[in-house]
Structure 1
Amino acid sequence: MARTRMACRECHFVNDPDAQSCELCGSSSLTEDWSGYVVITHPEQSEVAEEMNVTDPGGYALKVR
């Protein structure tokens, strides 16, 4: 059974299941309780990235609890 990836409560970046801190922002506030997934490849050209305040490419959770 696959383990759930961890979303950062601060920046919404989706991390590996065994992460202890966010690979993007360094926060230790990670959770398995998230939903929705968006991959942003060109944040400088993305309206979604602008709405989410994302400046780095990667996978992000849309809703983090």
Structure 2
Amino acid sequence: MPPRSKKQVRVCRNCHHVVDGESCVTCGSSNLSDDWTGYLYIVDPKRSKIAEKMNIDMPGRYALKVR
């Protein structure tokens, strides 16, 4: 059985949102990066101190650092 290739996950450089397509659904930017670290899932942004620090106001998947 041949090795499976991993799907390359891309992240928006503007809002750090993990993107499935060619543009960010949160901010509409197409400025995406393959080079990121730290996976974060925000469930309740109104009660999250991390979401407050990162200026996140929508639940979802985010990267901590994007290059």
Q: Distance in 1 between matches of 2:53 and 2:65?
A: 13
What does residue 3 of structure 1 align with? 7
Q: Cα RMSD (Å) of the superposition?
A: 0.7
SS at 1:43 equivalent: coil
1:20 CA drift (Å): 1.2
| Residue segments in structure 1 that go unaligned for 5+ positions in a row | none
| Residue segments in structure 2 that go unaligned for 5+ positions in a row | none
Which amino acid in structure 2 is aligned with residue 32 of structure 1?
A: D
Which amino acid in structure 2 is aligned with residue 13 of structure 1?
A: H
1:46 CA drift (Å): 0.2
Query: Which of the numbers 25, 36, 54 marks the counterpart of 1:34?
Result: 36
Query: Which of the numbers 12, 16, 20 marks the counterpart of 1:12?
Result: 16
Detail structure 1 runs of 4+ shifted over 3 Å in the superposition. Answer: none
1:34 CA drift (Å): 0.5
Which has the larger share of helix?
1
Q: Distance in 1 between matches of 2:37 and 2:31?
A: 16
1:26 CA drift (Å): 0.6
Residues matched between the structures, number: 63
